[in-house]
Amino acid sequence: MDFYAISSLRDHHAGWSLLRAQNAPLALSFFMQAFTGPNQRNIGRQQLIDLLEDLLFVLREAAEEDAFPKPAAEYLDDWAAPERSWLRKYYVPDQDEPRYDLTAAAEDVIRWVEGLRGRDFVATQSRLTSIFAVLQQLVQESETDPEVRLDELQRQRDGIDAQMQRIRDGHLRVMSAPEARDHFQQLTTLAQDLLSDFREVEQNFRALDRAVREQITTWEGSQGDLLASIFANQQDISSSLQGRTFQGFWDYLMSPQRRSELQDLLHRATRIEALAQEPNLQALAHLHQDWLPAVEQTQNTVRQLSQQMRRLLDDKVFLENKRVMQLIRGVESGALATRDQPPSGPFVDIAAPAVHVALPFERPLYESSRKVLVDDDVVTADDTDLDAEALFTQFHVDPGRLNANIDAVLAGLPQATLAEVTGAYPLTQGLAEIVAYYQLATDSPWASIDAQSTQKLSWTLPDGSIREADIDQIIFVRPT
């Protein structure tokens, strides 16, 4: 960055303006207390006002009465104003109370200010280990020569075999307390940075979408060109570097195998004796549960942006239809006004239709039609022999009952497959009930369908026969 870029940041960047603000200590301490400290997002206005009033009361008691003269609501409005952009104020569907969240710029400032205090223990070994691991993965998975990759895998296998032999011989090396603390600090720092990155990811998605909404508002071309532009922009958002990396993280986090492996590793990490005195050790077990709401909110942002573009497009179609109807009404009004007194001479000129030329040799030769023999023997049915019971034996699959079955099974398990749910609550309506479970899994953000694995379900028909079906594996996860 050169002098002019830094000067522009000083004049326009929201984070820089927060550092230069007169009440920056008040704003930063409140943001830490309300958002980053308890790791909360999407806080209602009244709750924030109550928290800020409590903080102002303590500060006014310790300082002069006129130290912070404005009420808490005015501070919130000032911090969420467009010229500040330290807080993002927005509304959620079906709620009248506004919600607030930190912007990415404000959170960057908070992380920077927290880093100014210094640390009594700085992780170095774990960072070097992480650098080596990332560098090895980068080089190995970018190698295009199969022989080189096979040699590397063989070397890794030889190293693993040698390590296993040393353990069998009784040479078991356990990580020391300083090393364990080093890696634990590195882990918590990466987890906090990942949570703070979600706000910036969400902001990047909004920035990508803002351009297309401006284009819709000022569009003067045809409707087809506008649709093509919108679809191309949506594809750009999904295929952008930000979109691909976020989707990769979402797929990794929603994989049942990866999620189970992560939960097991976190649980085992909390039982390490060298970390027993760490204050945030128990919070480590719920680390992945902090990620899910943040990722889900970012996913909801992408869905809401698509819905907003659809509404903007619908509004534009409505205005165009309204304009067409106004033109039609104008033509009808003009016709009614001239009905009794038609003008002399030609009233309107209509272009003559084009002459359609058909050459004789373009006509097909005559082909005689084929006679089709139809058996027209009509048999009169006897109405007394008709069985109308099938018209009254229809049934309905209640999705509320199926949701209750899933919740009952998840009350004792963190996750369950559809086979486990149907094992506790057998199928009573056959294939239709399986289709209903599929619909619930498709609509729920807490369920996943793994097409690579299958599970077998069975049910009993009224006549006592058993039916079986092999379907994709469906996994339901307990909502956090």
For residues 206 and 306, give the distance between their C-alpha atoms in angstroms, rounded to a whole number: 11
Buried b (16+ CB within 10 A) or exposed e, 199-213: bebbbbbeebbeebb
Taking residues 57-66, report their average pLDDT. Answer: 79
pLDDT of residue 303: 67
Residue 384 has pLDDT above 60, yes or no: no
pLDDT score, position 275: 74
**Cβ-contact 125, 141 below 8 angstroms:** no
CB-count burial class (<10 Å; 0-12, 13-18, 19+) for 418 = buried
pTM (2 d.p.): 0.45
The answer on pLDDT for 122 being more than 70 is: no
Distance separating alpha carbons of residues 398 and 227, to the nearest angstrom: 39
Sign of the Cα pseudo-torsion (4, 10, 15, 19, in order): positive
Question: Measured between alpha carbons, how far is 430 from 468 in angstroms, rounded to an integer?
Answer: 9
Continuous segment of H or E residues that includes residue 249: helix 241-254
Selected residue with higher pLDDT from 134 and 162:
162
**pLDDT value, residue 74:** 92
At 53 the pLDDT is 92
Closest CA to 88 of 97, 98, 96: 98
206 phi and psi angles, rounded to 5 deg: -65, -40
Contact between 237 and 245 under an 8 Å Cβ cutoff? The reply is no
Residue type, 38: P
Reported as a single tens digit per residue, the pLDDT across 95-116 is: 889 989 888 888 888 888 887 8
CA 277 to chain centre: 37
The answer on pLDDT for 288 being more than 80 is no
On the question of pLDDT at 260 being above 80, the answer is no
pLDDT at site 49: 92
The model's confidence at residue 46, banded by pLDDT at 50, 70 and 90, is very high
Q: Kindly give, in sequence order, each residue whose CB lies less than 8 Å from that of residue 133, ignoring residues fewer than 6 positions away.
A: none
Residue that wins the pLDDT comparison between 312 and 70 = 70
Q: Mean pLDDT throughout 210-239?
A: 65
pLDDT, tens digit (0-9, with 9 covering 90-100), for 408-419: 998 888 899 999
Domain ranges in the chain with CATH number 1.10.10: 3-116
| Site of tokens 């297309």 | 212
Model pLDDT for residues 453-466, shown as the tens digit of each residue: 888 898 888 788 88
Rounded CA-CA distance 268/149 in Å is 32
Q: What is the mean pLDDT of residues 293-302?
A: 66
For residues 248 and 252, what is the distance between their CA atoms, to the nearest angstrom? 6
Determine which of 254-258, 391-395, 407-411, 438-442 has the lowest per-residue pLDDT on average.
391-395
Using the predicted structure, report yes or no on whether residue 242 has a pLDDT greater than 60.
Answer: no
In angstroms, the Cα distances linking 50 to 56, 142, 360 are 10, 54, 89
- How far CA 387 is from CA of 116, 305, 390, 394, 420, in Å, comes to 84, 53, 7, 14, 39
Range from 230-244, 331-345, 387-401 carrying the lowest mean pLDDT = 230-244
pLDDT class of 39 with cuts at 50, 70, 90: confident
> For residue 290, what pLDDT is reported?
64
Instruction: Quote the tokens at residue 60.
Output: 């006014």
Separate counts of helices (H) and strands (E) for the chain: 16, 6
Per the model's pLDDT, the better-predicted residue between 286 and 451 turns out to be: 451
For domain 3-116, give the CATH number: 1.10.10
Beta-strand pair 466-477/415-417 = antiparallel
Is the pLDDT assigned to residue 79 strictly greater than 90?
yes
Residue 404 has pLDDT above 70, yes or no: yes
Between the alpha carbon of residue 439 and those of residues 29, 31, 397, 443, the distances in Å are 46, 41, 12, 6
Mean pLDDT, rounded, for 467-477: 89
Find out whether 473 and 420 touch, Cβ atoms under 8 Å: no
Query: Is the model's pLDDT at 139 over the cut of 80?
Result: no
The pLDDT score that the predictor gives to residue 28 is 92
pLDDT in the model for residue 392 = 64
* pLDDT for residue 149: 84
Cα 66–chain centre separation? 45
What band does 244 get if pLDDT is binned at 50, 70 and 90? low
d(CA 335, CA 327): 12
Q: How many other C-beta atoms are found inside a 10 Å radius of the C-beta of residue 300?
A: 13
pLDDT at residue 51 in the model: 92
